[in-house]
Amino acid sequence: MRLALFSLIIPAFACQVVDSDRILGKDLAAASPLFAALDPGIEVSAAPLAGAERILRPDEVVRLARQNGIALEGPAPSICFARVTEPLTAEKLLPELQKALGLDNANIEILDFSRFGVPRGTFEFQKSSLMPNGLWRGRVLYGENHSMPVWAKARITVQRTSVEAGESLVVGKAIDASQLNVRTGPRFPFDPPLVESMQVLVGRKPARTLAPGTPIALAMLAVAHDVERGDRVAVEVKVGAAILDFEATAESSGRTGDSIMVKNPENGHTFQAKIQDKGHVLVER
């Protein structure tokens, strides 16, 4: 019973392959010698999409024969057509992924890919579709505005230099060069950018505690201030045309353009000043 049911679902004949969006007379003649005299260029039907079949039923075959003056002897057959496809291979995919990636120094190792046949056409992979886990979804463009989805799973790396924590870096504590290591090795090309120079990190403070071996990105650091609380700052006071300069102690932190509280060590008075640049604040009255 199972075999009988299977034979009803799956046609017991091979499909004639076509490589365009139209089934022409030449394709019908190639599929059945009954139509050997048919005009090769006549359009018979729309071709199926890749992965699908177009089956001309016996009544359609009879109608076609009558319309074209072809006499059929005996029962009309069903005739199957399918779009020509080719197996997808890693060798075929690799140059397409390299072109889409656009990085000369990248190493691409294809781990897996679509295992179904694909039509002849143009591959399209967008960098925005590449996932950090290496899954890359694309498509094959073929025929008149048709496409078929394809995918590849790849290990994609480039050599990157980065600075990592050589020991635990405590939140809020300034980083010293002795706590850092510089490493060069393979990384996913579109990972968040990492700090490549120790000089960028020295004196900065982690926004969270970083474990040894952690590659450091700028986003992991606390916002850098031009003035930190407790810093000695040069104060410039302008009152009309008069200018007064002295040193004071910052009571709060900030960046250029921010207003902070400053304490005069001579009299203990606190006042507000605007940061002009690193270590320099201005008071205008």
pLDDT digits (tens, 9 = 90+) for 204-256: 899 999 999 999 999 999 887 889 889 999 999 998 888 889 999 999 999 89
Same domain flag for 151 and 167: no
End-to-end CA distance of the chain: 100
Same domain flag for 73 and 124: no
Strand 270-277 and strand 107-113: the pairing is unpaired
Per the structure, the complete domain to which residue 270 belongs is given by 232-284
Model confidence, pTM:
0.66
Q: What is the pLDDT of residue 5?
A: 31
Domain count of the chain? 4
The total of other beta-carbon atoms located within 10 Å of residue 152's CB is 24
Last residue of a domain, one of 40, 67, 83: 83
Please indicate, yes or no, if residue 225 is contained in any of the structural domains: no
Q: Which of 28, 33, 2 is nearest to 16 (CA)?
A: 28
Task: Read off the CATH number of the domain in which 257 is found.
Answer: 2.30.30.760
pLDDT digits (tens, 9 = 90+) for 184-203: 999 999 988 999 999 999 98
Same domain flag for 30 and 72: yes
Same domain flag for 63 and 91: no
Q: What is the pLDDT of residue 13?
A: 57
Same domain flag for 118 and 67: no
pLDDT digits (tens, 9 = 90+) for 22-76: 999 999 999 999 999 999 999 999 999 999 999 999 999 999 999 999 988 888 8
Same domain flag for 165 and 182: yes
Please indicate, yes or no, if residue 227 is contained in any of the structural domains: no
Please indicate, yes or no, if residue 107 is contained in any of the structural domains: yes
Please indicate, yes or no, if residue 226 is contained in any of the structural domains: no
Average pLDDT, the chain: 90
Please indicate, yes or no, if residue 102 is contained in any of the structural domains: yes
Last residue of a domain, one of 51, 83, 115: 83
Same domain flag for 10 and 64: yes
Burial of 30 from C-beta contacts in 10 A (0-12 / 13-18 / 19+)? middle
